[in-house]
Structure 1
Amino acid sequence: MAAIREAGLALIHAHGYEAMSLRELAREVGLTAGALYNHIDNKQTLLFDLIDEHMDQVLAHLEEALAVDADPRGRMADFVRFHLLYHIDHRLEVFIGHSELRSLTPENRDVILAKRRLYEDRVTAVIEDGVRGGLFAVADSRVAAYGILAMLTGVCTWFDPRGRLDADAVIRIYTDMVLKGLAAPSRP
C-alpha cells in the first residue's frame, strides 16, 4: 500500500487529480488495473486517504511541537519551526492537501476542513495565550493566525534546500518576523 500511496502522491502532484488515471497508477506500481482495486476502493478514496493521513500526521506532530515550551513566545517559535520543517519535508502532501481540496466530495471535504480548523485553533490559542499574558498585541487572534499560516505555508513554493539559505536560516528569519509581528509594544 505504501508504494500505491507514493505513486498516487507523485501522479496527482504531476498531473492533478482529474488527469490522473487509476490505470496509470496501477502501471506505476506494477499491478493490473483490476488488481489495484484490491488495495483501494476508487480514486476518490485514494485522494481522501492521502489528504486525511497528511492532516492526521500534521496534527499529531503539532501537538508534540507545542508541548515543548510553556511560554507563548516559545510555543510560537516552536510552531514556526515545526510548520516550516513539515512543509519543507512534505511538499507533495501539502501541495495536494491545498490544491486538491476542491476535488474531494462534500462529505470528505468537510472531514478535512474540520481537521484544518483544529490546526488553526491550536495556533490561535497560542496567540490568545500571548495576548492574555501581555506578550502579544493583535486586534484579532484568528486573523493573525490565518496571516501567519499563509506566510509560513508559502515556503513550499520557493524553498530549495540547495539554495542560498538552509532551513535553519529560513526558520530564524520567519520566527523573527512572526514574533516581532505579534509582539506587544514595550512599556516605557
Structure 2
Amino acid sequence: MARKSGSSGEKTKAELRAAATRLYARYGCAAVSVRQLAAEVGVQAGAVYLYFDDKQALLFDLLDTHLTALAEAWEKASRVPLDDPLARLERFICFHLRWHLVRKDAVFISYMELRNLTPENFARIEAKRHAYEDVLDGILRDGVARGTFRLADTRMGVFAILGQLNGVNVWYKEGGRLSLDALCAVQMDMVRGLVGMNSQRELVQAAQ
C-alpha cells in the first residue's frame, strides 16, 4: 500500500509515533489497538496502515528511531576529542542523563517492549543498543589501560553504570531538590566509585 508523502503525511506519521510512545509507555504495546492509536491522533484506523504495515512495524520504527537519534546526538556531542578518559567518561555520563531524562516514555518502551519484537527486529535493535554500550566500554577500557580506572571487567562496568543512570528516570523530577547540573555531578561522583576511583569527597578529606 502506498504511503502518504509531503508535509501533511510526515506530520501525521510523527503524531502517530508520539501517540504510540505515550500509549505504549502507559498500557503496553500488546494492550493498545490500532483503533485506539488512530483515535488518539484523530484519524481513521485504516489510515495507520498508510504509514506502518502493522503494529510490529510501528514498534520497530519507534525503537529504531529512538536509538538512531541517540547515536546521532552522541556523535554531535562528542565531536570535540578529549584525551583524558575521565573527562570522556564525565561527558558520556552528563550526555546520557540529559538526553534520556526528557524522553522517559521512549526510554521505557525501548527496554520493556523488546520482548514484543520479532527475532529479526530484536537483533537489529540489539545491534544498535550494543553500539551505544560499546562507546562506554571503549572509554572504560582506555581508562583501565592507562591506569586511571580499576575494573576487572569493563563490560560489567558498562552494565552497572547504565543501570545506575537509567534508574534516574524513575525518580528524578525537574524542579526538585537537584538541578540537572547537580544531578550530573552527583551521578559522576558515584560512577567514580564504580570505576575504582576515589569520590570527590574522599579526595577532599584526604587533602585535609
Aligned positions of 1:1-188 closer than 5 A: 1-68=13-80, 69-183=82-196
Kept in 1: contact 2:24–2:32 (CA 8 A): yes
- Residue 92 of structure 2 aligns with an amino acid whose one-letter code is F
Q: Partners of 1:163 and 1:129 in 2: how far apart?
A: 36
In the superposition, relative to structure 1, how do residues 182 and 70 fare at CA in structure 2: closer, same or farther (>3 Å)?
same
Q: Say whether the 8 Å CA contact 1:134–1:184 is kept in structure 2.
A: no
Out of 122-131 and 159-168, give the one that drifted further.
159-168
- Letter paired with 1:164: R
Identical-pair percentage: 42
TM-score (norm 2): 0.85
Q: Which consecutive unaligned segments of at least 5 residues does structure 1 have?
A: none
Listed one character per residue, the Cα deviations across residues 140-160 of structure 1 (whole Å, up to 9, x for unaligned) are 111111100111111111111
Q: How many residues align?
A: 186
Given that 1:7 and 1:25 are in contact with CA atoms closer than 8 Å, whether structure 2 keeps it comes out as: yes
Q: Which runs of 5+ in 2 are unaligned?
A: 1-12, 204-208
Task: Tell me which structure has the larger Cα radius of gyration.
Answer: 2
Q: Deviation per CA, 1:132-188, whole angstroms, max 9, x where unpaired? A: 1111111111111110011111111111103211211111000111124324579xx
Distance 1:150 1:48 in 2: 23
